[in-house]
Structure 1
Amino acid sequence: MFTGIIEEVGEVVEAGEGTLRIRAPLILQDTKLGDSIAINGVDLTVAEIAGDTFFANLMPETYRRSNLGELRPGDRVNLERSCRPTDRLSGHIVRGVVEGTGTIESFMPEGDAVIVRIRAPRELLKYMVVKGPVCIDGISLTIIAKDAESFSVSLVQYTQEHTNLVGRKPGDRVNLETDILARYVDALLEARAQEAGQ
């Protein structure tokens, strides 16, 4: 489990078929083999540590559901280690299971903040509510607006400075994970409706 609070922006060193190596000196200080690290919101297992880099394997399903297949050496990625039972939950409950991708539509300055609008699939938008949580490339954010095809979030200065999101551009794909609680409620209500219909 993760919180969506980014600990470090790492750098892709190697990206190949089923493999990914990231430079991340900060989070590797107390990381060991087998630990989980969310890379742009995707929960991956540390398979090798060499100096200030770690290596993870990727499955075909990861490529289908996320933007990790588009990564190239030099790209910056958001990184977060998995939670410990004693950690504060500063963001929201994030599983590190990317459900799909969205496309950045625009960046709009608003005072010190930046409003980011993202076009998303309808099957994910149905689990999003204004003032509810969403995870974008591993970043825990609050939805401030939503319509039938897109949603918007506001990036405070800290998020602008400590994640890779403002370095992206319109047209870039981002990983999305919706609120697990909304998914559970929807599944329970659907099951109840099916039982009532029988």
Structure 2
Amino acid sequence: MDGHGRGTRRDRYGIVLALLAVVILLVPVDSSALRPLVTALLGAVLLFAQRTSGARRSVMVTSAVLAAVAVVVSGGAQGFDSETAVSVYSITVILLCLATITTIGVHVLRDPSLDVHIVLGVIAVYVLLGIAFAGTYSVVGIVQGGFFAQGGADDDAVNYFYFSLITITTTGFGDLSPVTDTGKILAALEALIGQVYLVTVVALAVSGVTRRRRA
């Protein structure tokens, strides 16, 4: 691929991260009106990631259909009881995040170059992991009748998202903790994935870019 094509692709992972920044601002807002918008943004993230990764047209069409269905289902579910609406919304968020993570991951593995373009994709995966785990905690909380051990902590989008981010970054303030064994295992898994990802994938990508610039 020529230099012009590469330049265009670099910019697109920047767009993916910009969309994710908006998602991060909107996900904690526990409003049924915003849920279809967040789902639509994650669908756009998936499509931008696939376009940047050079996905086949058939794959992109399939993903566009998936994103559209996710938005419709997420929006339609808001008419049901609150637990059903939140569950459907959380599941659509998880699926879109995992689809995008897979897209970027496959591209990174296939692309032998290490440049800022790849680093942005690697960072996007890290953010998507945090969002996906937040959705997972929400589903677990609904299924098991509560997620947090702290009696005064609400099982809402803000706390799930906050808990996921401090867990994946292994910050661990200690103000929130899961009450069930399932929650504890998931939190431990997220912390392990987050730590290993930072010290391996992100570190290797950044060091590779640094070596290329020095060469």
Asked if TM exceeds 0.5, the reply is: no
Greater gyration radius:
2
Q: Which has the higher strand share?
A: 1
Q: Which has the higher helix share?
A: 2
